Amino acid sequence: MKKIALLAIAALPAFAFAQEAKYTVQGKIGENNAPAKVYLEYRAKGKTVIDSAVLTGGKFHFEGVTEGTAPVNAYLLFNAKGNGTNNAEDYRAIYLEAGTINITTADLLANAKVDGPKTNQENEKYQLAQKPIADAYKALEAKQKAATPAQQASPEFIKQSKADEKAIEDKSTAIDKKFIQDNPNSSISLNALESYAYSADYVDIAPLYAGLSPAIKATEAGIKFGERLPKLKAVALGAIAPEFAEADTAGKEVSLSSFRGKYVLIDFWASWCGPCRQENPNVVKAFNHYKNQKFTILGVSLDQPNAKDKWLAAIHKDGLTWNHVSDLKYWDSKAAGLYAVRGIPQNFLIDPNGKIVGKNLRGDDLEAALAKIFGKI
């Protein structure tokens, strides 16, 4: 149970320039032999690239060229049966960059030592800072699995688990912030800022971006993040929510402004998003508690083109009895772009005058925010 598993995130943009970077990725995973394979997966030119190597005495070797001199996010995935990445048992994030990256482990890739050029060294430093978070998630998961079915179903246990999870997330966010401040000339800091921006507000995000080195801000990813800042400012707490209109399930255009006079929760989600589906019972509970007040929900789906049937089926199965809209454009959703949404589930609470008064209200936080407005029901 890691932080990234708690939400669905748009793929980070590939770093690309006119030059090329020649990389070597090599290492040893125990004493594994065929049919065991290790896979190297990354994004290039908007497509997923996958290479594979059969293990011999645990050893593997990859060579290649990336477009651009900036590091490229990549994953190594291990599969003992060698039957594809979808069945991978273990993985490790690395960065493809000019030079040689060495990966060694006696057992799991997750436990591997990574020795390489600058960005991989910085990533090791970041992973070490985040290790207490990974350990805390493992401990929480073990605690949940050890509980009896009756305990797992009890309101008290569920409430405590959610509180524990939120405390871990808050600590992770604090670590991200400190790492960014302490390492302004690191590509890892820019990636950490992407993660930090999911739950933070513009007033906290902008200074961290401003503190990055000119070299990092000049990378393609740095430029793209800078271009997002005005959108993040437009959906900051206290701002008037940007207007948009999209088709509902019957094809009728529905605008955000048509709900003026009510508190509106703009809920970004999708039928394919596991964390969204897990969060839906909490949203349903809040809606049922306050739907007779001046409160409603506008669901905005990031479902994929030609997947309207899956969108409608999820609405029905999860009991989402409020207004829903979607342009069925996946991560190219116009509304999601307008609200700088790069991870779901994500929501914005709008007051009767159209002002943003809450963001990312999940679980008990949503109930607490509505109770503060309407009183406990």
Q: What is the pLDDT of residues 164-193, one digit of tens each?
A: 988 999 999 999 999 999 999 999 999 999
Domains of the chain: 20-114 (2.60.40.10), 120-235 (no CATH), 239-374 (3.40.30.10)
Instruction: Answer yes or no: is pLDDT of 324 > 60.
Output: yes
The pLDDT, as a whole number, for residue 11 is 52
Average pLDDT value for residue range 119-135: 93
Strand order in the sheet with 90-96: 47-54, 37-44, 72-79, 90-96
* Both tokens assigned to 144: 């949940």
**Across 5-14, 123-132, 174-183, least confident range:** 5-14
Average pLDDT value for residue range 57-66: 95
The pLDDT, as a whole number, for residue 9 is 57
The pLDDT, as a whole number, for residue 162 is 84
Neighbouring C-beta atoms of residue 24, cutoff 10 Å: 15
The pLDDT, as a whole number, for residue 17 is 40
Q: Give me the numbers of helices (H) and strands (E) for the chain, helices first please.
A: 11, 17
* Both tokens assigned to 300: 């905005």
Long-range contacts, stretch 358-362, CB < 8 angstroms, 24+ apart: 358/237, 359/201, 359/235, 359/237, 360/198, 360/199, 361/265, 362/279, 362/282
How far is it, in rounded angstroms, from Cα 266 to Cα 345? Answer: 11
pLDDT band with cut points at 50, 70 and 90 for residue 15: very low
The pLDDT, as a whole number, for residue 46 is 80
pLDDT band with cut points at 50, 70 and 90 for residue 18: very low
Three-state DSSP class for 46? coil
DSSP string, 121-187: HHHHHHHHHHHHHHHHHHHHHHHHHHS-HHHHHSHHHHHHHHHHHHHHHHHHHHHHHHHHHH-TT-H
The pLDDT, as a whole number, for residue 7 is 57
Instruction: Answer yes or no: is pLDDT of 377 > 80.
Output: no
The percent helix, strand, coil of the chain (3-state, each to 5) is 45, 25, 30
Closest by CA position to 12, among listed 219, 206, 279, 299? 219
The pLDDT, as a whole number, for residue 5 is 43
Q: Provide the residue count of the chain.
A: 377
The pLDDT, as a whole number, for residue 1 is 37
Q: Is the model more confident about 316 or about 199? A: 316
Average pLDDT value for residue range 104-120: 93
The pLDDT, as a whole number, for residue 8 is 63
The pLDDT, as a whole number, for residue 364 is 85
How far is it, in rounded angstroms, from Cα 175 to Cα 183? Answer: 12
Instruction: Answer yes or no: is pLDDT of 3 > 80.
Output: no
Q: At what angle do helices 155-182 and 202-210 cross, to 10 degrees?
A: 30
The pLDDT, as a whole number, for residue 120 is 95
Percent of the chain with pLDDT over 70: 95
Average pLDDT value for residue range 297-323: 97
pTM, 2 dp:
0.81
End-to-end Cα separation, the chain, in angstroms: 33
Instruction: Answer yes or no: is pLDDT of 99 > 90.
Output: yes
The residues, ordered by sequence, that sit 6+ positions from 288 with a Cβ below 8 Å of its Cβ are: none
pLDDT band with cut points at 50, 70 and 90 for residue 323: very high
* Both tokens assigned to 36: 């065991």
How far is it, in rounded angstroms, from Cα 78 to Cα 92? Answer: 9
Instruction: Answer yes or no: is pLDDT of 276 > 80.
Output: yes
pLDDT band with cut points at 50, 70 and 90 for residue 10: low
Average pLDDT value for residue range 122-133: 93
Strand order in the sheet with 99-105: 59-67, 20-29, 99-105, 113-115
Q: Is the model more confident about 96 or about 67? A: 96
b/e 204-217 (16+ beta carbons within 10 angstroms → b): ebeebbeebeeebb
